[in-house]
Amino acid sequence: MRLVTVKASGRQVLDLLRSEGVSLESTPVKWFYRVGVAGAPGRLKAYHLGLIYPQTLASALPVLALDPRPGDIVLDLCAAPGGKTTHMAQLMEERGVVVANDRKFARITALTANIKRLGLTNILVTFYRGERFPLECGFDRILVDAPCSGEGKYRVGERGEMLFSRGRATNLPAIQKGILKRAFDLLRPGGELVYSTCTFNPEENEGVLTYLLGKREAQVLGWDPPLPACEGITEFEGVKYDPACRRCRRFYPHQTDTVGFFVARVAKPR
C-alpha cells in the first residue's frame, strides 16, 4: 500500500490507518507499507479520502527507475488504472505535467476515477493506442509499463492449483515492440524512458529491448534498485539478446516477496 501525501502528511495518514486497526510494516521504498487489513482496503476511510493507493511493492520499481522530478514533462504511455501515474505525480510534488495515456475506454474510466480520488492536479489524460501516440509532443521521461503475459503474478495454491494465469490470445511481443519504439521517438534528446513488464518471458523483455537497440540509437542504463534483483539475461533457449540487456533488472517473487517484474532504463543521446 502507498501513502498519498497530497492532502495530508505521511504521519497523519499512518495515524488514521492505525486508528482503524491496520497493522503496518515499513519497506525500503518511501511511502510504501506492507499492511494487514481485515477485508478490502476500499473499506477504509483513508481510501475514500484519497490518502492511500493499494498496490504491490514491486509496482513502485519502474517509477523509481524513471525518477521523475518536479518540473518534468512525463508520459505514462500505458497508464490505467493509475498506480504508477499517481506515484509519479506524487514524486514530482505536483510540479510539471504527467500525461496519462491508455487505449481502452473502460480503463480510462478507472484511471480518471483514481486521479480524482487522490486529488492530483498535474495529470492530463489522453486516449490513444500507445504505438500511435502523436509525435508532435516531446517528453523528458516516459514510462512504458507494457501489456504483458503477467507471469510475475502467477501463484500456485496449497493443493498445487494455479491461482492466477493469463491466456495469450495476441502477439504480445509485436505490440510491445511497437509501443517501445514509439516511446523512444517521443523522447527529447537527453531524455530517459523505462520499459517494464510483470512477466519473466524473455521474448517480452530482453527480446523487445534488443529489437529497440537494433532500430534506434538507444543506450541501456544501469540502476541500483531498493529490492533484491538479478541482471537481465543475454541468452535463452538458443536465442541471443544484446549484451546491454545485462544492465536490466529482473525481480523474482521468491527474492522480494512481491510480484515479479522486469525493468529496463533507456536513454536517448543528446
Return the active site residues.
Answer: 198
Residue 234, SS3? coil
| 100 touches 71 (CB < 8 A) | no
Task: Quote the CA–CA distance of 152 and 24 in Å, as a whole number.
Answer: 24
Task: Quote the CA–CA distance of 206 and 131 in Å, as a whole number.
Answer: 19
The residues near 12 (Cβ < 8 Å, ≥ 6 apart) are none
The residues near 158 (Cβ < 8 Å, ≥ 6 apart) are none
In degrees rounded to 5, what are phi and psi of residue 44?
A: -80, 150
Task: Quote the CA–CA distance of 233 and 209 in Å, as a whole number.
Answer: 11
In degrees rounded to 5, what are phi and psi of residue 60?
A: -80, -20
Give the cell for residue 85: 501515474
In degrees rounded to 5, what are phi and psi of residue 6?
A: -90, -45
In degrees rounded to 5, what are phi and psi of residue 200?
A: -100, -15
Q: Is residue 84 within a helix (H) or strand (E), and if so which, with residue range?
A: helix 83-91
In degrees rounded to 5, what are phi and psi of residue 179?
A: -65, -45
Name the residue with cell 511497437.
178
